[in-house]
Structure 1
Amino acid sequence: MTRRARLLCVAAILACGALGVLSSTQTWLTVVLDDGAGRTLDVPGASAIPVLAPLSLAVLALGGALSIVGVVLRYLFGGLTLLIAALLAWLTTQVAFTHPTSSVSSTVTEATGITGETAVEAMVASISATPWPVVTLAGWIVLLAAGVVTLATAHRWRGSGRRYRTDDTPRTTAAAGSRPHDAIDSWDDLSRGDDPTDRPLD
């Protein structure tokens, strides 16, 4: 059960991070300008929420790190996952349901050259949202749940595989003792900080 919880948490965090990165390139809002021609502009997620892409990449990094770190860092990374998920959920909710002018200002300024919140707001006739903000918000809710489960179960997760450890290799040592010391053994000794040239000659 604990192994399954770890697998689900890591997979969910990685999936949510990937969703955020993908969503940052998709159209979140459509703006109709009050310029006489009714020009329409598409606003991608990265423009609506400037921190969307970098924080999504951070989530991906956290998910990958959680699969190999020890107990203390699991709690730290689980807490960071919760904080990022809460922040992104709040920002995404604002864009999805209130469509603030600030989320389209950079796109409008780039298209028209008009700057200033008041001037941009006067230039915007209407703002409508695509399904992407709601889909992404659902991902952040899943990310929140994954962070909670991580904090609740992290102390029971097994550590990384012992085959990668150099301080707990009794079988390897026993096997090495049963045969002549060769060049490979000497390299292994050096990797453990043991200089084979200091050994007495047989």
Structure 2
Amino acid sequence: MSGQETGARRPRARLLSVLLILLCGAIAVISSTQTWLTVSLTGSAAHTLTVAGSVAVPVLTPLGLAVLALGAALSIVGTVLRYAFGILSVAIAVVVGSLTAVVAFTHPVSAVARTVTDATGITGNSAIAPLIASISASPWPVVTLVAMAALAFAGVFVLVTARTWRSTGRRYRTAAAPASPASGPLDAIDSWDDLSRGQDPTG
């Protein structure tokens, strides 16, 4: 593979990683506001309740926002933080993915307990369980699970390619311009420019 081809792939690896992580974070945040579970109650309290993703998996919203922040910062950090962010991405994907899988495939009472308690005033999983006739899931838990799998892939991809990314730190540094001899009295702007370059405006 030629050096030109390798250089062309470096920005692609960075761009792909950042966009994929941002997409996964956005899906997690959006999913947290959607209906994950529908609960049908029995007896005198018989009616249907909906449970949002943020209730079924309370960490979904904060960790989704963390993923968005992580993806945004990933485009400008150095090599060491790239590895740290890659590990964090995988860790978040594992945590959220495991919790989501439980909700998606087992529909636990604990995931709907808060909503049932708000509607009936009854607390405790053992007391709530007899009130539940059925719990059905929407597609959103599965969508979130897929997003977490993609996030884990993105984290691993960052770990594999982080060393090949070009450093972007220089573009965010203030370049020290060479001092030019003053041709006349310095005004306030000139003095401020000298201070920003670490020079003594009175010299």
TM-score normalised by length of structure 2: 0.88
Within-5 A mapping of 1:31-50: 31-36=39-44, 38-50=46-58
Of 188, 197, 200 in structure 2, the residue corresponding to residue 195 of structure 1 is 200
User: After TM superposition, which residue ranges in structure 1, 4 or more long, deviate above 4 angstroms?
Assistant: 178-185
CA contact (8 A) 2:77 2:169 kept: no
Q: Which position in structure 2 is the counterpart of 1:164?
A: 172
Within-5 A mapping of 1:38-187: 38-160=46-168, 162-166=170-174, 172-173=177-178, 177=180, 180=183, 183=187, 184-187=189-192
Q: Which position in structure 2 is the counterpart of 1:9?
A: 17
Question: After the TM superposition, which of the residue ranges 144-153 and 176-185 deviates more from structure 2?
Answer: 176-185
> How far off its partner does 1:136 sit?
1.0
- Partner SS for 2:46: coil
Separation in 1 of the partners of 2:27 and 2:160? 24
Separation in 1 of the partners of 2:78 and 2:11? 15
Pick closer, same or farther for the CA change 1:193–1:51 going to 2, 3 Å. same
- Partner SS for 1:64: helix
Structure 1 unaligned segments of length 5 or more: list them: none
> How far off its partner does 1:37 sit?
5.8
> How far off its partner does 1:192 sit?
3.0
Aligned letter for 1:194? Q
> How far off its partner does 1:34 sit?
1.6
Separation in 2 of the partners of 1:101 and 1:163? 52
Question: After the TM superposition, which of the residue ranges 183-192 and 56-65 deviates more from structure 2?
Answer: 183-192
CA contact (8 A) 2:78 2:169 kept: no
Q: Deviations over 1:53-104 (max 9, x none)?
A: 0110011110111111111111111111110011011011111111111000
> How far off its partner does 1:187 sit?
2.4
TM-score normalised by length of structure 1: 0.88
Separation in 2 of the partners of 1:92 and 1:177? 62
Separation in 2 of the partners of 1:68 and 1:163? 9
Structure 2 unaligned segments of length 5 or more: list them: 1-8
Q: Deviations over 1:139-187 (max 9, x none)?
A: 1111001000011111221222634323x55xx42xx648858655542
CA contact (8 A) 2:45 2:120 kept: no
Task: Report sequence identity in percent.
Answer: 60
Separation in 2 of the partners of 1:53 and 1:41? 21
- Partner SS for 1:54: helix
